[in-house]
Structure 1
Amino acid sequence: MRFSAADSMYHSRRSKGRPRGRARQRDALFRCRTAIIDTFRTFRIHHIVTQRQNQKIAVIGAGLSGICTAYFLAQAGCQVTLIEQHGNVAEQASLGNSGLIAAAGQMPSAAPGLRKKILSSLFNADSPILLSPTLSPALWGWLRKWVAQSQLERYRLNKTRMTQAALYGQQLLLQLQQQHMIDYQASAGVVQVFRHEAQLAAAAKLRAVLVDLNIAHSLLDAKQLRQLEPNLNPATALAGGWHFPQDGAGNCLFFIKQMKAIVQAMGVQSQFMQTVTALQSGEQGAVLTIDGAPHAFDAVVVAAGAGSNKLLKPLGIRIPTAIANSYAAVATIKNPEFAPRGAVLDADYKTAIVRLDERIRITGILDLQPGRRARAMHPQAMKTLLKIADDWYPDAANYNQASFWSGNVVMLPDGPPLIGATAAPNIFVHIDGSSDGWAASVGAAAALADLIGGRQPEIDVSGLQLTRYH
């Protein structure tokens, strides 16, 4: 039996000073009323779930967000169709994911000091953010929202929201790994390195967030960190850093490709090389226009990453996103004895160095310059990625033979995943605004499937929905 705060206060005010006999009668009536309400709510939720279990639901986008959403919807009994404009899964942002499976190590991009980084990017060639003074007014407006989220209190709130989704995602990944025998080259342990004492001091101020979330962590000085990760280049300045033993890394692309086979075996219909050009919403369902032909569904999940806003804007749904280019470099390990033991985050450059089997993957750099094509490599971005790898592990890999990737990623100003219903009936969204980790997206997908099915999610989703922007 549940009592709301409002009901409790009402009951307290009304029964104060009453004779004990009458108070007992009111207590009995109150409990009876509450039991009736609870019974009605349970029946209503069961009715909604029963309806949703047999519904036809389309998921637009076969990246990490889309494939995981399709899995959890199918697991709940929905008839799911996965629609992707490319020829296979994970052809865009998911392909360039850092590989971090991090609850503690995944941080909002809007962190304290962001304003200074944006200004310095205009003059610093190897900045982790690539900007130009000729940005459009709309993008400058988005940058103001981004900077506003870097205030310490906002950062703490956003970090908490990301972490709870990522912790849930880590649990689900373990379950998926065991249930379906998925191998995604998982490794344990993440360290975040600080080059400067000021960064180390600032990190200590955020310790309360990790303590509140019950996350295993250690704040280490330079000597302790080098003992933990002995292959760090001794010539590179190191003040200290975080160690997150329960975080890890894994090959996101391997995971998604195996999930593709799993969802197809569950009955999910996959439609590749199919472009959704229009989306219509109504009380009875939704209609997608795919290559000129209408297709009706009971509900639609838009998980199209950088293409999501194009579909949602005609419906009056505006999400504060920016489209950036992100970059990755992959090099073959030549000297395993000099390679990283675990995943390493460079706090100065917001860049991840992850060992995936016999390769090292370096990801980062946000390119917000106008006119940059999704597949076009920025020469300075390539130099910066290799510089960071050489700073920390100069003898580990053949960096001069590295392969590079570039692609569009969608950014949200605050960082946590965006899931849930929209103002348009039967239209839902799943947008992951972070490219430096993938556990949170898995957790968000499961929570979204619960919301669509009328079930109570396992985590608090109030800070993951569109209402956070209003």
Structure 2
Amino acid sequence: MNIAIVGAGIVGVTTAYELARDGHEVTVFDQRSAAAEEASFATAGLLAPLLLSPWALPGYGLPLRLLGAQATLRVAGGLNQRNLAWLWRWRAAGLAHSAPATALERLAQYSQARVQTIAQQHELDFEASEGRLVLLRTEAERTTLQPALQVLRDLGMAAHEIDAAAAQKLEPGLSPETALAGAIHLPGAGAGNCRLFAQLLRQGTQGSGVHFAFNTRIERIHSAPTGLQVHGEPDLRRFDAVVLCAGMASAALLPALGLRLPMTAVYGYSVSAPLREDTHAPRASVVDLGHQISITRLGQRVRIAGGAELAGADAAHHAPTLQRLYRTLNDWFPGGAQLSSGLQVWRGARTMLPDGAPVLGASGVPGLWLNTGHGAGGWALACGSARALADLIAQREPEVSLDGLGMRRF
């Protein structure tokens, strides 16, 4: 088949890889000039398990606070009707624990295994690390985490509740000056550089059945015949199938086909800093549950990521959120990173649906497939989502269940 993919982020690139592996001719369209330039650019880097990552699913992690200095989600510039409706559904999903947590965690584990397989087959060095600590500042945080831990236990995943002394042995750089009630040790957790993986995979696939069309904006998706209308071109580009992997652009392209998804852009931040002192920096990745901030070792850098806000794409960086990132790093790993120079500060969008899960599979429109809306789990779910979607297109049963992740739930 001749297949078009809209979006060259981590989801689009991995989807192109899997479809080309199945023998399809693939063209990837993106409005930016390179792969992984938007939501995949400077992510936290966390792979599975998904449920113990910041902002993974509503209701798994921090209590849902909408007001005050400790709000889970910061609202800036006022709420429009669409965001208000999304926020209402997001809060309801969190209170009811209605997100498809088990299906997503299975997909995340499957995806992590697929990342490792691809990396080994193609010798991709993407600054990977293994193991994670979820740091608990209070015993109340341990209680809050129990629903997510129960999902992991039911799936047979290792999640060890340990005390502060054991956490210190696993991450010797942890500051003893910061109060630590305990931690959750996830020996099977993974992390790595999302953008680097996407770029390496893109370089490997180009010319092997995959073509990339950068600086190309899609005006409309057509059915009967299936194809794409490219900005500035009078004629329709025809394809046998189109896969939509375009983040927030997906929400803009779907209404013309009679489809709507309740997506919104939730912006987060990351700071990537040069390694300063190896023994004072994290060995792998840690998550501060109370602050919903992750600190991850990526090669010779440390990346601190967190924050969640409903605001415009051009909104100014929120100084208090960035200060919270710096403060959290200094709480746990003082002296581990160089913060006076060489910093990369990034603000990027997570394209989120109210239940935190993506939409995977057939759209209901002939020829159009969906692999979009991964939210905070884009990197953690990308390789598994791509392989499962390729199987669906080939009319094969995916190796992982996608129950609860389809278009019908909306």
TM range (shorter): over 0.9
Aligned residues of 2:24 and 2:209 also touching (Cα < 8 A): no
SS in 2 for 1:330: strand
Residue of 254, 264, 272 corresponding to 1:322:
264
| Alpha-carbon distance between aligned partners in 2 of 1:138 and 1:464, rounded to the nearest angstrom | 22
Aligned to 2:81: 137
State the Cα deviation string for residues 355-411 of structure 1 (Å, max 9, x = none). 011110011211213x4517x422222212111111111211122333201122211
SS in 2 for 1:150: helix
Q: Tell me if 1:220 matches 2:168.
A: no
Aligned to 1:149: 93
Aligned to 1:422: 363
Aligned to 2:114: 172
Aligned to 2:58: 110
Aligned to 2:195: 253
| Alpha-carbon distance between aligned partners in 1 of 2:288 and 2:377, rounded to the nearest angstrom | 12
SS in 2 for 1:171: helix
CA shift, 1:90, in A, is: 0.4
SS in 2 for 1:381: helix
Q: Tell me if 1:89 matches 2:35.
A: yes
Q: Tell me if 1:379 matches 2:323.
A: no
SS in 1 for 2:330: helix
Aligned to 1:288: 229
Aligned residues of 1:352 and 1:436 also touching (Cα < 8 A): no
Aligned to 1:411: 352
Q: Which runs of 4+ in 1 moved over 4 A?
A: 112-116
Cα 1:189/1:383, change in 2 over 3 Å: same
Q: How is 1:5-404 mapped onto 2 (pairs within 5 angstroms)?
A: 55-103=1-49, 105-106=52-53, 108-111=56-59, 116-119=64-67, 123-124=68-69, 127=71, 129-132=73-76, 134-151=78-95, 153-155=97-99, 158-282=100-224, 284-293=225-234, 294-369=236-311, 371-373=312-314, 376-401=316-341, 402-404=343-345
Aligned residues of 1:103 and 1:162 also touching (Cα < 8 A): no
Aligned to 2:380: 439
Aligned residues of 2:106 and 2:400 also touching (Cα < 8 A): yes
Cα 1:389/1:165, change in 2 over 3 Å: same
| Alpha-carbon distance between aligned partners in 2 of 1:163 and 1:97, rounded to the nearest angstrom | 19
Aligned residues of 2:216 and 2:230 also touching (Cα < 8 A): no
Runs of at least 5 residues in structure 1 that lack an aligned partner in the other structure? 1-54
SS in 1 for 2:375: coil
Aligned residues of 2:271 and 2:304 also touching (Cα < 8 A): yes
Q: Which amino acid aligns with 1:73?
A: L
Aligned residues of 2:119 and 2:125 also touching (Cα < 8 A): yes
CA shift, 1:423, in A, is: 2.5
| Alpha-carbon distance between aligned partners in 2 of 1:206 and 1:247, rounded to the nearest angstrom | 15
Q: Which amino acid aligns with 1:390?
A: N
Please provide the CA RMSD for this pair.
1.9
Aligned residues of 2:61 and 2:289 also touching (Cα < 8 A): no
CA shift, 1:224, in A, is: 2.3
SS in 2 for 1:184: coil
Aligned residues of 1:112 and 1:152 also touching (Cα < 8 A): no
State the Cα deviation string for residues 163-214 of structure 1 (Å, max 9, x = none). 1111111111121112111111111101111111111123235433112111
Aligned residues of 1:326 and 1:365 also touching (Cα < 8 A): yes
Aligned residues of 1:325 and 1:368 also touching (Cα < 8 A): yes
| Alpha-carbon distance between aligned partners in 1 of 2:19 and 2:256, rounded to the nearest angstrom | 26
Structure possessing the higher radius of gyration over alpha carbons: 1
SS in 2 for 1:270: strand
Aligned to 1:463: 404
| Alpha-carbon distance between aligned partners in 2 of 1:216 and 1:313, rounded to the nearest angstrom | 43
The count of aligned residue pairs is 406
| Alpha-carbon distance between aligned partners in 2 of 1:128 and 1:427, rounded to the nearest angstrom | 35
Cα 1:132/1:261, change in 2 over 3 Å: closer
Q: Which amino acid aligns with 1:235?
A: E
SS in 2 for 1:317: coil
Q: Which amino acid aligns with 2:317?
A: M
Aligned residues of 1:417 and 1:441 also touching (Cα < 8 A): no
What percent of counterpart residues are identical?
A: 34
